[in-house]
Amino acid sequence: MKAIIISIGNELLIGQVVNTNAAFIAEKLNSVGIEISKILTVADDGEAILMSFKESYASHDIVIVTGGLGPTHDDITRTSVCAFFQTDLVSNDEARINIQQFLKARNRPWSDAAENQTLIPRGATVMSNPHGTAPGEFFHRDGKYFIVMPGVPQEMEAMITNFVVPYFQKTSSGKVILHRTLNTTGIPESLLAERLGNTDEILQGEKLAFLPSTGGVRLRITVIGVDRMKSEQKLSSIEQAIRVKAEKYIYSIENQSLEETLGKLLIEQHRTIAVAESCTGGLLADTVTNVPGSSRYFERGLITYSNQSKHDLLGVPKELIEMHGAVSKEVAEAMARGVRTTSNVNIGVSTSGIAGPTGGSAEKPVGLVWIGYSDAKETFAIKLHLGSERIRIKERAVQAALELVRRRLLKIDQ
C-alpha cells in the first residue's frame, strides 16, 4: 500500500513552521509496512485543497491529511473534505462526549467554538483527541483510506499512535519495511562513499541513503520484504558489510547522539572529563551536559576566551602564548593538560581556534581550530580546518572534540 501525506497550512509554506508532522507520520507508517510515496504541502485555499484531495486519492491507497481542523475562519479542511466526498457536516455524539470530557478536565466552559468542533463529515469514523478539541476523521471507502487529523503535533501524534498504527497493524498486507541508520563522523560524504566502494555488492538489491549534516553523515539502510525474519537478517548483513569498511567512523545507530555514545563509554571505563574552551565559548560543555546523568563523568568546563584567563585558570605560560599564539598546537596542549590537572580528572580537552569572520591571516586562516587532548599517558593536539562560517565552525569543533575522545577511549587511530 502506498500513501501520500498532505500538510495544509500557509504557515508551512512561508517557513514560519517546520513540518515535523510529515516525518513522524512517515516513520510510523513505515513501521507497519506502508510506503510514503509523496509529501505534499498545500495552502489554506479551498480550491487547492480540493484539487490535492482528488489527485492524491486517485493515485494512492492511503491519503493522510493534517491541519485546518480548528474552529476559526481559516480552518477549511472539514468543508473541503465534505466537498470531496459530496457530503455534509453533522453533529457527532462521540465527538461531543470527547470534547466535553476534555473541557471538563481543564475546567473550561462549553462554547460556540466547542459546538463547532462536534461537526464531522457524514460517514467519517471519529478519532478521539486526548490533547485538544478537534476530532480526527477516518474514511474507508472503495478499498482506500482517507485520514484527516489536526496539525498540532501532539494531537496528531496521539491519533497516529492510538488509532492509525494499530488499525493498519491489524489489516497489514504482510509487507515489511525496515530501516537502520548508522551515524558517522570525521569523514566527508565523498570519501565515505569512496571507502564503501561498489554498494551494489553490499546492498543485495536494497537501498542506502547518504544523509550529510554539520556533524557528520548518516547512512540509512532500507530493506523491503514480506518475511520479517529474513528482512532483519538481510538488514544485519548489510550493516556488517558497511562496518567492515567504515567501522571506525560509525559512532552509533538510530538516534543516539555522539555525546550520548561518549557518555556511555566514560561510564563504562570509569573515566571523568573536564574541558577548557576558547573558540567554542562553552558549546562543548553544553553539549556534553545535554545528556542526563552526565554529572557522573563531567567535572567542569572553563571558558578561557582571553589569553589572561588561559594563564590564570589553566596555568598556560604567558611566554608560550606570546611565542606561538593562542591558536596553536602548543597552547591547545597546555590548555588540555591544565584543565585535567586543575580539575583532577582523567581526561582534559581543549578548543582554540579562529571562528571569524575576522581575525584570520595567511598563516592562521578563519576556520583553523586546534583540539587538545590530555590524559595520564599522553598530551597532544590535532589541527583542523572547519570552513568559514562562525556557527558551523563552533559546531564542527565540538563534534571533532567529542569524536577525538571517543576514539582515544576505544583506542582507534585518528
**Locus of grid cell 553539549:** 287
Phi and psi angles of residue 197, each rounded to the nearest 5 degrees, phi first: 75, -140
Q: Where are the beta strands (DSSP E) in 228-279?
A: 250-253, 273-277
pTM, 2 dp: 0.77
CA distance 147 to 41: 16
- Angle at Cα 288 formed by Cα 283 and Cα 293, nearest 5°? 145
Mean pLDDT, 10 residues at a time, the chain of 414 residues: 94 94 94 93 96 97 95 91 96 95 94 94 96 96 95 96 93 82 96 96 94 93 92 96 97 96 98 98 98 98 98 98 97 98 98 95 96 98 96 97 98 87
Which residues face 382 on adjacent strands? 371
pLDDT value of residue 13 = 95
The grid coordinates listed for 3 are 500513501
Please name the residues in contact with 403: beta carbons below 8 A apart, sequence gap of 6 or more. 185, 186, 251, 258
> Judging by DSSP bridges, how do beta strands 216-225 and 347-353 pair with one another?
unpaired
pLDDT value of residue 287 = 98
CA distance 114 to 30: 34
CA distance 130 to 188: 45
Q: Domains along the chain?
A: 2-170 (3.40.980.10), 176-253 (3.30.70.2860), 258-410 (3.90.950.20)
pLDDT value of residue 173 = 67
pLDDT value of residue 175 = 81
Residue closest to 118 by CA, chosen among 140, 100, 105: 100
Q: Of all helices (H) and strands (E), which one includes residue 90? A: strand 89-91
CA distance 140 to 133: 23
Please name the residues in contact with 25: beta carbons below 8 A apart, sequence gap of 6 or more. 5, 36, 64, 66, 156, 160
Amino acid at 227: D
pLDDT value of residue 171 = 80
